[in-house]
Structure 1
Amino acid sequence: MSRLPRWLLLFTTALALSGCSSSTTPDDAGPAPVDAGTSDAGGDSEAGDNSDAGSDAGTDTSDAGSVVDAGTSDAGTDLPPWDGTAETLPERTDHVDRGLYSDCAFTLPVGAPVAACNDASLFDRSSCPSGAFDSVDTVGFYAMDARPSTGYVNNLSAFDLRLPLDGSAGNLSGRALTHRAVGAGEFVAATTYVATRINPARDFVFAGCTRPTPDRINGCYVQCSQGKVGIVGTFTATRAGIPARGESESSGLTLVSEATVPLGMAVDVYVAKDHAYVVADGHASALGGLAVFDVTNRAHPVLKKVIQLPNDTLWNGVWAKGDALYIASASSGVIVYDISDPADPQYVRAVPGEPTPVHTVHVQGDRLYAMAPAQTDAVLLFDVSSPLAPVLLNKVSLQAGGNGPHDAFAYQDRLYVSYTESGYVAFDVKDAEHIEKLGSYVFDGQFAHASAVGTFAGRTLAFEGGEFQGSHLRVLDVTDPANMRLIGEYGLRPEFSIHNMILKGTRLYVAYYQEGVRVLDVSVPPKPREVAYFNTYRETEPGRIGGIFEGAIGIRVPDDGYVYVVDTHRGLLILREP
């Protein structure tokens, strides 16, 4: 593809994705192949973790921005038990063209000379209702999708507008605003992209028209270059700090405690021996590392230790088995700590013994799977029958380029790998020395990110989530991995995506970035139904910048009655299970 690789975008912009935590299983033995469709939703068989928005022209509704059935009450609670049959749904991809967002328009045609791109009088907003922005906040973060009238370009459509809470000028996609008129009945923002070796300087101007819901602004925009109109179109912008659908802070989930993580950006958590191990990604002002909390009293977590290693600041995933703690490091590979004293982890070694960027880790039984993305482009398989002494068994790679493997979930001698642009891929890993690719689920523009797998009514099903704009949850029947098929979907505002998930019986717990924690009843897998939520995102949290990869990011649900959530800026939140 002509655009920059996603990993480069993530690490070279202010929106850098700081962590992508792995799926989970509740114990060392891994999930038993239980039939989740008939088991007790809260029993011991934890299977582990791992509607288009209309335009202003006439189809905006109160749930504008919802991409699929979000599992609202109309899904019903009296659905009959699932019998394993399901219709195969068409794949719409993550980049559904939602049509024009507004009736307003820039009045000059493409190619016409223009003296001042940010001249608000050049926008025809005669159809815009008066008073739409009389009460609009003058600060806040907006995630934006721009739709060119000359053709929808899905991979170049995302922008973000940041109007800082301190009242300073703000920026658009990291570039200082050159014009800002927000409030007192107006919503106009502009910026300039400086010239590069490839592109001349370009001016972008966004003018609001309507507010279909309190969290959303729709309008029109123009891009000018070298004194001429280059692109015209419409846009939609949603406010991360205002939950959609009129939600309160929570429903069905109760906050028990909250603890700040004194490191960079918190990204993942694992709970073992009454301790929560939180890893963080480092940045310029705060290094990454490991924070150890004693959670014997869930209402009062106690920070026991902070661990950092020199020149090794991007720690992104964590798992425990017995007395071993495994940490995914972008520099060292898998770092092994001895937690026989759970409050005082001791460094043991790093595997495979040479510098290897590892992004996530996943353990099932005596196997440790480490995802080494980008240049390494491989899943590393380790024997951890001696937990503190992992032995490298093999490497699995598609050698397909791109970002490589991101996450994996092991289930019934199969390894389901979220292989970013290469899709969702199943491997037979029963014999570590002879690994076979069994099949995949792939669509245009995919960025397979995380999954959880279980058995429902005799069918093997994967709950698969992508990342980036438009991504949402897919329910895939993977019983025959050579012929994976889509049978269900769930999603909220398309500007935000899922980060991670845990399947526990017939409940799916989802860390959904700005949408917080979502708990789904998946007893009827083709129709996931939301039964609880907790909105973790608050704009006022220190360090928030309005990036699309902020909010609920890591999640674990051990069998202790609690949900452990990591929010990128709030730290560790402990919630009582519904």
Structure 2
Amino acid sequence: MKNLIRCALTVWMIAVCGLGCDDGTPDPTPDAGNPDVESPDAGTPDAGTPDSGTPDSGTPDSGIPDSGTPDAGYEWDGTYVPLEERGDNIDTGPLASCTRILMDDAGVAVPCGSPQSFDLSPCNRGTLSQISPDGIYSVRERPNGATLVSGFLSSGFQISTSGGVETAHGYPLVQKQVDSQTLYLTSLRTLTDGGTQLYAFAGCEAQSAEHLTGCYQTCTNGGQRRSFGSFDAVRTQRLSEPEMSGIQFVSEQKVALGTPMDIYVTKGHAYVVSSDHGPATEGGLTVIDVSDKAHPVVKKVVTLSGDNYWNSVWAKGDALYVGSAKHGVLVYDISNPADPQLVRGVPGDAFDVHTIYVDGNRMYAQASGANQVLIFDVSNPLDPVLLTRYTVPADGNGFGYPHDAFAYQNRLYINQMGQGYYVVDVTDGFNPLPLGSYTYDVQPFNPTHANAVGTFAGRTIAFEGGENTNAHLRVLDVTDPAHIVKIGEFAMRPQTSIHNMVLVGKRLYVAWYAEGLRVLDVSNPTQPRQIAYANTFRDSDPGRGEGLFVGAIGIRVPGDGYVYVVDMTRGLLIYREP
């Protein structure tokens, strides 16, 4: 399944293990007794901006409040109070009061994951009548145990009364009981070794019509291995919030090829890359004429045999750069913007390039599979020249890979997913020099994912977001990379995750998966505040699935007065800048 989205490889490895690995509980027996640049030789980057005109760069249910509204005309003076880093996964204990039962009163083993295996006696089950029997739910799971070592896990389920798709953990339901006192769901997965894994959810109580808690179990091969924990679920579509606020919808264009992942806008065209993620079987590039924003027109679809995972895209001059899982960076000639022509792949060997960032005459390609940042001179955009392959120094466990990067004032800010947020001096493109790093949630991995950097009150400020359950926005003072300080943060629901972000002046545009597009005023970076949003996730969209990685994933704000968002199901959405 390509680990859902490769940028979330670590999350899914942990999720699969956490849901299916042995938790130390043996299969019960009757006597048991108790029941996650100029030129290549100059080594100096051009200070210019990318051709797009802009360098890429709710409800706070997770416990981090919206910090208020700065006064009109407010200018931050650069002062702040350092904030404690608590990580994404702040464990407050079990999420529900239910427990599990291994043995019945007669000492007979209770089948793993069965309704009888959940002790719901402490629950207020009458409140479950609030929950709709139709809808998609995002789930945050807390494995049972005294210490939350692996962090919260993510999953989901969808239920229907009209014959629609019904799943749990991405697999078809095999049992379902939903009524005024009960929410019980199970799905079954067939393992590669021929075994089975059962996922079971049991509702405990509902806090509102969109929020419930309960307990879950996973049972491998009938219970030979099992795990148990509590969950906190929300309706993925935000029914209690209007579809949009502070922003105007312009148009929508379906992308038929694969699952849309990223977008770049130049020459009056939007270039959307897709992967074979989920049910999709073929990735590639969709070229959309957006000269008339209200009526986008698909002009061409580009595919490459055997290469179905295209995750990122950027343009400079007449060159379009595509991050490919098989061929590194694919270079296309877009002198005719509606008809891209393949030039070649760079650096020439087989590479999985996950993301691309262009700053002036430099291109930075994050090769996740090789754990390297490939630095190119793109003075001649159609003929990139490789300067060096930079490997971020590994931490003690040697785990991590460059997921994303942002270049600003001769520094490269790298989201080394699995390790932390790294700052590197790239003045000399042949010889990058590490300057400092910032880490959180190190055990078992650091989910840092995307960032954007700018100058505020004479200080260099970075906006950083992870990809994980409860991933939220961090604001970091990176003026001195050797001593990075957290100065602000902003969060949405803990069942959701950030994906990408773009900083335009003092506004931060965030593609926040199930939370859609979120626009934040960051004029006072210590107090980000939401000024506009657009919910892109709708239960009714054909092909919608459940889980953490659904909804808005790609975003560009090219300076033409519009915001371009890629939703994984709906395709290209165009809004007027607020």
Give 1:191 deviation, angstroms.
4.3
Letter matched to residue 437 of structure 2: S
Q: Distance in 1 between matches of 2:196 and 2:95?
A: 26
Q: 1:67–1:493: 8 Å Cα contact kept in structure 2?
A: no
- What residue number does 1:307 align with? 302
Match of 1:90 among 73, 81, 84: 84
- What residue number does 1:57 align with? none
Q: Distance in 2 between matches of 1:173 and 1:204?
A: 7
Letter matched to residue 442 of structure 1: T
Q: Distance in 1 between matches of 2:340 and 2:59?
A: 47
Letter matched to residue 559 of structure 1: G
Q: Distance in 1 between matches of 2:373 and 2:161?
A: 42
1:388 maps to 2:391: no
Q: 1:114–1:229: 8 Å Cα contact kept in structure 2?
A: no
Give 1:64 deviation, angstroms.
7.6
Cα distance change on mapping 1:79 and 1:560 into 2, 3 Å? closer
Q: Distance in 2 between matches of 1:11 and 1:124?
A: 29
Cα distance change on mapping 1:523 and 1:12 into 2, 3 Å? closer
Give 1:104 deviation, angstroms.
3.5
Q: 2:328–2:347: 8 Å Cα contact kept in structure 1?
A: yes
- What residue number does 2:166 align with? 170
Match of 1:183 among 166, 179, 184: 179
TM-score w.r.t. length of structure 1: 0.84
- What residue number does 1:22 align with? none
1:527 maps to 2:527: yes
Q: 2:259–2:280: 8 Å Cα contact kept in structure 1?
A: no
Q: Higher mean Cα deviation, 390-399 or 79-88? A: 79-88
Q: 1:113–1:229: 8 Å Cα contact kept in structure 2?
A: no
Consecutive unaligned residues in structure 2, runs of 5 or more: 17-45
- What residue number does 2:256 align with? 262
Give 1:540 deviation, angstroms.
2.1
User: Aligned to 2:9, what secondary structure does the other structure show?
Assistant: helix
Letter matched to residue 138 of structure 1: P
- What residue number does 2:214 align with? 219
- What residue number does 2:419 align with? 422
Q: 2:56–2:357: 8 Å Cα contact kept in structure 1?
A: no
Q: 1:110–1:228: 8 Å Cα contact kept in structure 2?
A: no
Cα distance change on mapping 1:195 and 1:410 into 2, 3 Å? closer
Consecutive unaligned residues in structure 1, runs of 5 or more: 15-27, 33-43, 51-61
1:355 maps to 2:355: no
1:339 maps to 2:334: yes
- What residue number does 2:291 align with? 296
Match of 2:318 among 298, 318, 323: 323
Q: Residues 5-59 of structure 1, C-alpha deviation per residue, up to 9 Å, x if partnerless?
A: 9537759999xxxxxxxxxxxxx96459xxxxxxxxxxx9976322xxxxxxxxx
Q: 1:377–1:404: 8 Å Cα contact kept in structure 2?
A: yes
Cα distance change on mapping 1:316 and 1:229 into 2, 3 Å? closer
Cα distance change on mapping 1:528 and 1:227 into 2, 3 Å? closer
Letter matched to residue 384 of structure 1: V
Cα distance change on mapping 1:176 and 1:272 into 2, 3 Å? closer
Q: Higher mean Cα deviation, 282-291 or 562-571? A: 282-291
- What residue number does 1:561 align with? 561
Cα distance change on mapping 1:454 and 1:179 into 2, 3 Å? same
- What residue number does 2:437 align with? 440
Q: Higher mean Cα deviation, 3-12 or 120-129? A: 3-12
1:105 maps to 2:107: no
Q: 1:438–1:482: 8 Å Cα contact kept in structure 2?
A: yes
Aligned residues: percent identity? Answer: 46
Give 1:137 deviation, angstroms.
2.3
Give 1:533 deviation, angstroms.
0.2
Give 1:78 deviation, angstroms.
5.6
Q: 2:125–2:182: 8 Å Cα contact kept in structure 1?
A: no
Q: Higher mean Cα deviation, 389-398 or 526-535? A: 389-398
RMSD between superposed Cα atoms in Å: 3.3
User: Aligned to 2:482, what secondary structure does the other structure show?
Assistant: helix
Q: Higher mean Cα deviation, 395-404 or 474-483? A: 395-404
1:253 maps to 2:247: yes
Match of 1:49 among 36, 48, 56: 56
Q: Distance in 2 between matches of 1:478 and 1:9?
A: 27
Q: 1:337–1:348: 8 Å Cα contact kept in structure 2?
A: yes
- What residue number does 1:573 align with? 573
Q: Residues 249-295 of structure 1, C-alpha deviation per residue, up to 9 Å, x if partnerless?
A: 00011110000112000111111111111111125644111111111
Cα distance change on mapping 1:222 and 1:313 into 2, 3 Å? closer
Give 1:185 deviation, angstroms.
3.4
Q: Higher mean Cα deviation, 276-285 or 341-350? A: 276-285
Cα distance change on mapping 1:421 and 1:109 into 2, 3 Å? farther
TM-score w.r.t. length of structure 2: 0.84
1:7 maps to 2:9: yes
Give 1:300 deviation, angstroms.
0.5
Cα distance change on mapping 1:326 and 1:165 into 2, 3 Å? farther
Q: Residues 225-249 of structure 1, C-alpha deviation per residue, up to 9 Å, x if partnerless?
A: 7779965543211221235xx2100
1:397 maps to 2:391: yes
Give 1:223 deviation, angstroms.
5.5
User: Aligned to 2:312, what secondary structure does the other structure show?
Assistant: strand
Cα distance change on mapping 1:181 and 1:80 into 2, 3 Å? same
1:240 maps to 2:268: no
Q: Distance in 2 between matches of 1:45 and 1:260?
A: 23
Q: Distance in 2 between matches of 1:187 and 1:7?
A: 31
Letter matched to residue 9 of structure 2: W
Q: Distance in 1 between matches of 2:420 and 2:428?
A: 23
Q: 1:459–1:479: 8 Å Cα contact kept in structure 2?
A: yes
Letter matched to residue 103 of structure 1: S
Cα distance change on mapping 1:202 and 1:346 into 2, 3 Å? closer
Q: Distance in 1 between matches of 2:140 and 2:293?
A: 40
Q: 1:139–1:167: 8 Å Cα contact kept in structure 2?
A: no
Q: Residues 482-532 of structure 1, C-alpha deviation per residue, up to 9 Å, x if partnerless?
A: 111111111101111100000000000000000000000000101100000
Give 1:80 deviation, angstroms.
4.8
Q: Distance in 2 between matches of 1:267 and 1:45?
A: 18
Q: Distance in 2 between matches of 1:429 and 1:121?
A: 60
User: Aligned to 1:509, what secondary structure does the other structure show?
Assistant: strand
User: Aligned to 2:129, what secondary structure does the other structure show?
Assistant: coil
Give 1:556 deviation, angstroms.
0.5
The number of equivalent residue pairs is: 535
Q: Higher mean Cα deviation, 219-228 or 125-134? A: 219-228
